[in-house]
Amino acid sequence: MKKTIFLLFAAFAAASCSSSKNINVKVTNVSSLDRNKEMVEVSMAEISTKLHLADTAQVIVLDKNDQQVPYQITYDAKLIFPSTVKAKSSEVYTIKTGVPETFNTLTFGKQFPERVDDVAWENDRIAFRTYGPALQATGEKAFGYDIWVKRTNDLVVENRYAMELDDSTNAEIKRLAITDPAASKALRERTSYHFDHGNGLDYYKVGPTLGAGTSAFLVDGEMVYPYCYKTQEVLDNGPLRFTVKLVYNPLNIKGNSVIETRIISLDAGSQLNKVNLTFSKVNAVMPLASGIVVHTGSNDYKMSAQKGYIAYADPKDPVNGQIYVGAVFPANVKEAKFMPFKGAEASKIKDGAEGHVTAISDYEPGSEFMYYFGAGWSKWGFNSSADWFKYVDEFAQKVRTPLTVTVK
């Protein structure tokens, strides 16, 4: 009997010890750049195994000062949290069981069927959208990513869409359009997300272009533009990462019916999204161009195939300031160049688009192509194109020298 009680006590003690065990996560920055609140990932399966977690157990993440750090468990079973590490140094974080504090939600997105199936998303810095089947059904040509600039850490996308859905206001706009067109236009601007109400607006132009960093195959030197997505699925929705899966209608690529799948994610604090592309039925290595539309009035861009980035400053708007756009490539880029519209596409010039700044890579059949795209604004963190170009350049350095994570 005494032996049984002793064994039970020993088992209980062992379980208590296991439940209080800590995991140390060492984050190392070998680069010459400071890393500020950059998201790192740890396998949730590894955490669960090391801590012997029950299904209902909660964990907390602590920094070196024993202060809780916000975290999120993603759809693909990773625990992510922001890490700040000085150049050429390391920081250690602790993961253990506990009750997490409540932290602000910094990312959000969803489909808006009431606005022709837009999928729109944002973080605490910037917002984006892409277009869906209802828009494609109208015949309107809008191929690329759109940008919604903001100058607040608050989440604003839902409120901006709501501004467009006031039926009584829309009725008044239509009435004034007959009697007083100028007043109609002014009212629409004041009550829409195309007018800056103090936290930003939508004034970026996409149209029949790659917009803010979409990719397209090059066939005989001509782009085969993807259209709107066919299906969408939100995989993560905050607090630190938004992720959406988009599947596109088949495109005819050299006689093959190619289906593109994109998984796009945006982390808190970042100006750039991460996107993973896969294509079915691509049977040979093909050139893939990731591009940013160049609008009439600006040739202010910078690019480097060697460093793996393209960056561009849109024309300055006298009221709304200047939008900056960029894309970054962890893998080798074959060529970076400006591609002017020509031939059948030359008609786009009259609508204010001159061509694309592009990064051209070789897509290998059956592979996954990953890169980053995003934007900034002169009224929220970037005073000039030089500031933006520096940000993109340094972002490229960081993705090519990632933080290393060691779990003990």
For residue 232, count other CB atoms closer than 10 A to its CB: 19
Q: Are residues 373 and 279 in the same domain?
A: yes
- Rounded to whole angstroms, the Cα distance separating 261 from 360 reads 19
Q: Are residues 241 and 272 in the same domain?
A: yes
Query: How would residue 186 be classed by pLDDT, with cut points 50, 70 and 90?
Result: confident
Average pLDDT of the chain is: 92
Q: Which helix (DSSP H) or strand (DSSP E) does residue 94 occupy?
A: strand 89-97
In a domain, 407, yes or no: no
CATH of residue 321: 2.70.98
Q: Are residues 147 and 34 in the same domain?
A: no
Query: How would residue 189 be classed by pLDDT, with cut points 50, 70 and 90?
Result: low
Please determine, for residue 39, whether its predicted confidence score (pLDDT) is greater than 70: yes
Are 310 and 326 within 8 A, CB to CB? yes
Q: What pLDDT was estimated at residue 2?
A: 36
Query: How would residue 165 be classed by pLDDT, with cut points 50, 70 and 90?
Result: low
Show which of 144, 177, 198 is a domain's final residue: 198
Range in 103-117, 164-178, 333-347, 382-396 the model is least confident about? 164-178
3-class secondary structure, 348: helix
Please determine, for residue 51, whether its predicted confidence score (pLDDT) is greater than 50: yes
Please determine, for residue 132, whether its predicted confidence score (pLDDT) is greater than 50: yes
Query: What digits encode the pLDDT tens for the residues 387-400?
Result: 999 999 999 999 99
What are phi and psi for residue 122, nearest 5 degrees? -160, 165
In a domain, 190, yes or no: yes
Q: Are residues 361 and 379 in the same domain?
A: yes
Q: Are residues 6 and 77 in the same domain?
A: yes
In a domain, 405, yes or no: no
In a domain, 99, yes or no: yes
Please determine, for residue 15, whether its predicted confidence score (pLDDT) is greater than 60: no
**pLDDT above 90 as % of the chain:** 83
Residue with token string 């209080």: 20
Number of structural domains (the chain) is 3
In a domain, 44, yes or no: yes
Please determine, for residue 4, whether its predicted confidence score (pLDDT) is greater than 60: no
In a domain, 340, yes or no: yes
Show which of 88, 103, 118 is a domain's final residue: 103
Q: Output the six-digit token pair for 337.
A: 């160049």
110, 235, 245 from 232: Cα distances, Å = 9, 10, 6
Q: What pLDDT was estimated at residue 185?
A: 73
Q: Output the six-digit token pair for 56.
A: 């209902």
Query: What digits encode the pLDDT tens for the residues 166-177?
Result: 667 767 777 888
Q: Are residues 191 and 211 in the same domain?
A: no
What are phi and psi for residue 362, nearest 5 degrees? -90, 125
In a domain, 141, yes or no: yes
Q: Are residues 179 and 82 in the same domain?
A: no
Please determine, for residue 163, whether its predicted confidence score (pLDDT) is greater than 90: no
- Rounded to whole angstroms, the Cα distance separating 303 from 366 reads 28
Q: Are residues 97 and 174 in the same domain?
A: no
Question: Of 242, 400, 392, 246, which Cα lies nearest the Cα of 327?
Answer: 392
As beta bridge partners, residue 311 has 302, 326
Q: What pLDDT was estimated at residue 166?
A: 63
Q: What pLDDT was estimated at residue 12?
A: 34
Show which of 198, 231, 251 is a domain's final residue: 198
Q: What pLDDT was estimated at residue 17?
A: 41
Please determine, for residue 192, whether its predicted confidence score (pLDDT) is greater than 90: no
Residue 77 Ramachandran class (φ > 0 left, ψ -120 to 50 alpha, else beta): left
Greater pLDDT, 167 or 242? 242
Please determine, for residue 10, whether its predicted confidence score (pLDDT) is greater than 50: no
Residue 169 Ramachandran class (φ > 0 left, ψ -120 to 50 alpha, else beta): alpha
Query: What digits encode the pLDDT tens for the residues 264-323?
Result: 999 999 999 999 999 999 999 999 999 999 999 999 999 999 999 999 999 999 999 999
Q: What pLDDT was estimated at residue 11?
A: 37
What domain range is 28 assigned to?
2-103
Please state whether the predicted TM-score (pTM) of the whole model is above 0.85.
Answer: yes
> Who contacts 137 (Cβ-Cβ below 8 Å, separation ≥6)?
none
Q: What pLDDT was estimated at residue 13?
A: 37
In a domain, 15, yes or no: yes
Q: What pLDDT was estimated at residue 8?
A: 32
Are 265 and 236 within 8 A, CB to CB? yes
Q: Are residues 192 and 317 in the same domain?
A: no
CATH of residue 22: 2.60.40.1180
Greater pLDDT, 228 or 182? 228
Q: Are residues 266 and 183 in the same domain?
A: no
> Who contacts 39 (Cβ-Cβ below 8 Å, separation ≥6)?
80, 81, 82, 83, 240, 241, 267, 268, 270
Residue with token string 């051209």: 360
Q: Are residues 130 and 190 in the same domain?
A: no
Q: Are residues 78 and 221 in the same domain?
A: no
